[in-house]
Chains A and B, each alone.
Chain A
Amino acid sequence: MVETKYKKSGIFGFYRRKAIFFAIVLAAGFLGWRGLTGNLFLADRNATLTSTISQEAAILVTVDHSGQIFINGKRSGKRVSALSDYDEVRLPVVDESGQYYDRVVITLKLPAAVAYETEHELLVIHGVDNSRSYTSDGSTIVYEANGVSGYATLSIVAKLPKGYIDFPLTEKAKQVLLRIQANVWVGIAIALPLLTLIFMLLFILRQRRSGRIDLPGEEITAPPMLIPPAIVGVLMNQHVRAREVAATLVDLAVRGDIVILDRDRDFAFGKGRFDQRLLGYEKILLTKIFRESLSSDRLEIEKRINNHFYSKKISLVSAGVYAVATRLGYFKVNPQRLFAQYRLIGILAFLVGAGGFALSLLYMAQPPYIIFFWAGMMISALVVAFSASSIPIRTPLGRETMSNWLAFKRYLSSAEPIPYSENLPRIFEKYLPYAIVMDCEAAWARRFIEHNFTLPGWFLTDKSGLGLDDFCLSLFPIISYVSRSLVALREPGFE
């Protein structure tokens, strides 16, 4: 029954995680399409609508000292634009009213007696018999249009001399930003991430120099101490990667806690002997793979992976490895916590950059060159978020231990064949998890190529006569696939 249940696929073949991903892609596509269809650039008809209804309209437009524009006493939401040579009122006052007017009179009241120094015109489209604009007194400009169709748009233009509008501080700041040349913004956009990258590189180099690791002169033929392979991996890389999970799985197999079943185009994991000596993170990893059952095949594992966007258990596995390595005194602070802090700074800067980018695009005048600054900020944030994990934080003990493990790595990856001994198969299995975590499993396997190969007891297969090559070609893809898939499920902050 359990087997049947686990063999069900997701709804219409979509698991939740994939469904969320495709929903986001679809939403992005929809928004993109909306943006594109918003680009309707008019090649419009010259409308000439007439009506039998005769009316006159009078509209009062007032500009106050701060540049706010009021229409018939109500705030219009528009304001005077500050240009380099003049301050400009440019406003559609009548816009497709749907009503025919014999005559429309728009009176513009200026904040000072500058009407005679102000250039003015009335722009009309879509069915207006005639129009004109004139100055009626020192602070008033009148715009008149006759025979105004219901489709017509009447826009007033007035170019005021500089110095009569006292723009608010926010507007002044906006004007200063808008006056900055495009190439300056592009320069900032390039310089910002470059400077961040240089700063981070210099910082990392300085830390590395102060915490130099002695490269071993000679190899050592046995692990310098009995610590789990995942701890060795995190000591070497300061990071829990897929390799640490893969090495842990193989280590668990070697220790007899699990068996790996290789079937034709399929695989499964089975529970081995019950072992109380499992570390906390190892137990959690096993519960992720097996839950309550005694075995777990590819379909079950894939279902568990695909059904989750994030996995708390896998995050706890990572956290457990970091915690053990820190408790052993290899790191000044828990790497996970330190990287999370940098990552948080990076994420916040990225989101601020993205918000600024979107707001500038929506609300700044065209073209909003300031968006280059925000784009630069976002790239800088990514540089911080992704480079932080390279900052070395090993203690002197950690550096010394790593040096010893590097000496053991020299032994594992040596080109010399291993001399024959009765214990040969046991040696290969025992050190295989360390070879995996130190990225030299192929070199380690090559050292045994000249000897007869005995299939490990924890690797069950339906194929016969498997050599060392075949064993590696069967085992490594399974372990790699499972560990990569599991590691991808870590919650944010655990990467």
Chain B
Amino acid sequence: MKSSLPSKILYSSGVIFDVARWVILIAVILALVNTFWLTLFFVDGVSMETNMHDGELALLQKNGYAGKSEPARGDIVVVQYPGDPEHRRYVKRVVGLPGEALSVSAGRVLVNNKEIDEDYLPVDVTTEPAGSWTIGPNEYFLMGDNRFASNDSRYFGSVEKRFFLGKVLAVVFPRLRSADDL
């Protein structure tokens, strides 16, 4: 006896529902967490040496700058590269804040003509090339900790807040370190 079309639809959709409902619900919950709250990512490259290493697994807080919360100097952040937001994401450190005048001179970083304390850098690291930038409103100046091998705001300019994906909370693998220790 042939089964009718409605019963076939009921059966087929029921099978999918039956088999997949928990998988779908768990996937939905994970996707919501991954999209709006926390995600893990791999560091790819050396521009954050010596604080973050190539291949390390780190934890990113997605809503780290939601609402009135603003990035602070020294925060390690993940941003979309403004030149290709869909495909490139960078992990960098916030060095300059909106409205500030930032300059690099004699290997040092100055904000509003005052040298900033970059205690996260190894002692012998200097910053090149020399230059000066005015950071626009709602923009941030980002640099990698490995100043000799980092593509950052020194080359592509300040980054608008809309390109910020979140704040790095910790490196979780292979050695757990909180962002405060980076």
Q: How far is the CB of B31 from chain A (nearest CB, A)?
A: 6
Q: Would you call A45 and B10 a contact (CB within 8 A)? A: no
- Decide yes or no whether A42 CB sits under 8 A from chain B: yes
Q: Let me know if A176 is at the binding interface, CB within 8 A.
A: no
Asked if B90 lies at the interface with its beta carbon under 8 angstroms from chain A, I say yes
Q: Does B40 contact A (CB under 8 A)?
A: yes
Query: How close is B120's CB to chain A, nearest CB, in angstroms?
Result: 14
Q: Let me know if A123 and B157 touch, CB within 8 A.
A: yes
Residues of A within 8 A of B (CB): 20, 24-25, 28, 32, 35-37, 39-46, 90, 92, 95, 121, 123-126, 153-155, 157, 309-310, 340, 343-344, 347-348, 350-351, 354, 357, 361, 366-368, 371-372, 375, 378, 382, 385, 491-493
Nearest-CB residue, chain A, relative to B85: A90
Residue of A nearest to B58 (CB): A41
Cα distance, A344 to B13, chains bound together (Å):
8
Is B81 an interface position by the 8 A CB rule?
Answer: yes
Contact of B42 with A378 in the complex, beta carbons under 8 Å = no
In B34-71, the 8 Å CB interface with A consists of 34-36, 39-48, 52, 54, 60, 62
Top 9 closest pairs, chain A to chain B, by CB = A492-B14, A155-B83, A123-B83, A39-B41, A44-B45, A43-B45, A43-B47, A92-B84, A43-B48
Contact of B44 among A40, A90, A309, A347 (CB under 8 A): A40
Q: Are B45 and A493 in contact (CB under 8 A)?
A: no
Interface centre among B7, B11, B148 (most CB of A within 10 A): B11
Given contacts A42-B89, A354-B28, A491-B11, contact A125 B155 (CB under 8 A): yes
Q: Of A40, A90, A310, A340, which one neighbours B42 at CB under 8 angstroms?
A: A40
Docked CA distance A371–B30 (Å): 12
Q: Is the CB of B151 within 8 A of A344?
A: no
B-side contacts of A126, CB under 8 Å: 151
In the docked arrangement, what's the CA distance between A482 and B116, Å? Answer: 73
13 contacts between A and B (CB under 8 A): A36-B40, A43-B43, A43-B52, A43-B90, A44-B151, A121-B157, A124-B83, A343-B14, A344-B14, A354-B28, A357-B31, A371-B32, A492-B17
CA gap between A320 and B123 in the complex, in Å: 82
Contacts of B176 in A (CB 8 A): none
Is A39 in contact with B39, judged by CB distance below 8 angstroms? yes
CB-contacts of B4-38 with A (<8 A): 7, 9-11, 13-21, 23-28, 30-32, 34-36
B88 cross-chain contacts in A, Cβ below 8 A: 42, 153
Known: A344-B9, A492-B11. 10 other contacts (CB 8 A): A41-B60, A42-B88, A124-B155, A344-B10, A351-B17, A366-B80, A366-B165, A375-B32, A493-B7, A493-B11
Interface membership of B72, Cβ < 8 A: no
Residue tally, chain B, CB below 8 Å to A? 62
B78 within 8 A of A: yes
A45 x B28 contact (CB < 8 A): no
Known A-B contacts A125-B83, A347-B17, A375-B28; the reply to A44 vs B90 at CB < 8 A is yes
Q: With a CB–CB cut-off of 8 A, which chain A residues contact B41?
A: 39-41
Across the interface, B15 reaches (CB within 8 A) one of A35, A124, A350, A492, namely A492
Residues of A within 8 A of B134 (CB): none
Is B156 a contact partner of A124 (Cβ separation < 8 A)? yes
Residues of A within 8 A of B87 (CB): 92
- A27 nearest in chain B by CB position: B23
Complex CA gap A344/B42 in Å reads 42
- Bitwise, B74-108 to A at CB < 8 A (1) or not (0) is 00001011111101111110000000000000000
Given the complex of chains A and B, what is the CA–CA distance between A153 and B86 in angstroms?
14
Contacts of A309 in B (CB 8 A): 19
- A38 vs chain B, min Cβ distance (A): 9
Q: Given the known A-B contacts A155-B82, A347-B14, A350-B17, are A378 and B44 also in contact in the complex, defined by CB atoms under 8 Å?
A: no
B35 interface neighbour in A25, A42, A124, A371, Cβ under 8 Å? A371
Interchain CB contact under 8 A, B16 and A493? no
Q: In the complex, what distance in Å separates the CA atom of A342 from the CA atom of B81?
A: 48
- Whether, in the assembled complex, B149 has its beta carbon less than 8 Å from a beta carbon of chain A, the answer is yes
A24 contacts B16, C-beta separation under 8 Å: no
Complex Cα spacing A465 to B13, Å: 53
A198 to B12, CA, bound (A): 29
- Quick check: A45 and B45 within 8 Å, CB to CB? yes
Q: A46-B149, A124-B155 are in contact. Are A37 and B35 (CB under 8 A)?
A: no
A20 to B, closest residue via Cβ:
B19
- Contact between chains at A378 and B91 (CB < 8 Å): no
Report the separation of the CA atoms of residues A44 and B48 in the bound assembly, to the nearest whole angstrom.
8
Q: Contact at B19–A24, with CB atoms within 8 Å?
A: yes
Complex interface: chain A residues within 8 A of B18 (CB): 492
Q: Is the CB of A46 within 8 A of B82?
A: no
Give every chain A residue within 8 A of B81 (Cβ-Cβ).
42, 125
* Best-surrounded residue of B27, B42, B83 (most CB of chain A within 10 A): B83
